[in-house]
Amino acid sequence: MENFVFCNPVKILFGKGQIANIAAEIPDNAKILINYGGGSIKTNGVYN
């Protein structure tokens, strides 16, 4: 393997009510990765 540097700055919001703040954290035209499991994100409306 060749030597390389990988930098991945991540901001994670924890706590009650943080879902409402997500839109303000994402810049316009940004590409995001949503990692979830179990399907609850779709049943509780967060995915929408």
Residue 2: predicted pLDDT: 96
Six-digit token pair at 40? 């609850």
Residue 43: predicted pLDDT: 79
- Domain boundary assignment for the chain: 1-48
**Residue in 26, 10, 19 with CA at minimum distance from that of residue 44:** 19
Q: Which residues of 11-47 are buried (b: 16+ CB within 10 A; e: fewer)?
A: eeeeeeeeeeeeeeeeeeeeeeeeeeeeeeeeeeeee
What's the pLDDT tens digit per position in 3-40? 999 998 888 888 888 888 888 988 999 988 877 777 77
Residue 3: predicted pLDDT: 98
CB 32 within 8 A of CB 46: no
Residue 4: predicted pLDDT: 96
